Amino acid sequence: DGGLHWMRPLREICGRVASVTGVVRRGLEPALEMEGESLGHALFRIEPRGGCRYLEQPKGSGPLVATYSCNVAHRAVMAHDSCPYFRITGDAGEIVIHGTGLKKDVPGSGGLKLYNATNPSGKEMFEEDRMGAFFLGFGHLWGNICDIVRSKDYEKAHETVVRAADDVKTVLALYRSSESGRWEDV
């Protein structure tokens, strides 16, 4: 889970991933005794008109390529403001979703900063003293799962499984690319 849950919003914002090139590394945090990788970096080439609901590339600008990094190294900069989780840049400004540490019992644990003409130095959109932050995002997820199970909404459950399968296909392409050193189709 070091980064799979970041892949879903990236795909929902940008669209379907067509191919991947990247690397993954294991054993960078031996004290965690993890079976899987502890670090991953990749480029995702997004399919043209690949189901994107929010972004559209300008005509003639070439394919959309998203950068992706994940880690489970608790000291890594991604857990803090120096390396944002998401950076969405447009012609009117930029939104940065960043970390402020990963301890849910201290204020912070995630933020959203807006950069635009009115806020050229950035404006923090969340209160600094809020508790839980990053961790609060998962409550809604479990609520959705419980609703699907209670209502036996098989169509919604199927949609969720298909979306999860697309995430796994993307990860498997990243693993293949890490071995081959080439772009791999999803």
The pLDDT, as a whole number, for residue 1 is: 45
**DSSP letters of 21-80?**
EEEEEE-SSGGG--SSEEEEEEEEEEPTTSS-SS--PPTTS---EEEEEEE--TTSGGGS
> Could you say which residues of the chain have pLDDT below 50?
1-2
The pLDDT, as a whole number, for residue 121 is: 93
Question: How far is it, in rounded angstroms, from Cα 148 to Cα 160?
Answer: 10
The pLDDT, as a whole number, for residue 100 is: 63
The pLDDT, as a whole number, for residue 77 is: 52
Q: Single out the residue of 102, 107, 106, 105 nearest to residue 134, CA to CA.
A: 102
Would you say 68 and 22 are in contact if contact means Cβ atoms under 8 Å apart? yes
pTM of the model: 0.70
Nearest 5 degrees, angle CA 13-CA 18-CA 24? 90
The pLDDT, as a whole number, for residue 148 is: 84
The pLDDT, as a whole number, for residue 30 is: 67
The pLDDT, as a whole number, for residue 167 is: 86
The pLDDT, as a whole number, for residue 2 is: 46
Going by DSSP bridges, is the β-strand pair 93-98/86-90 parallel, antiparallel, or unpaired?
antiparallel
The pLDDT, as a whole number, for residue 119 is: 94
The pLDDT, as a whole number, for residue 184 is: 97
Q: How long a stretch of residues is the chain? A: 186
The pLDDT, as a whole number, for residue 89 is: 77
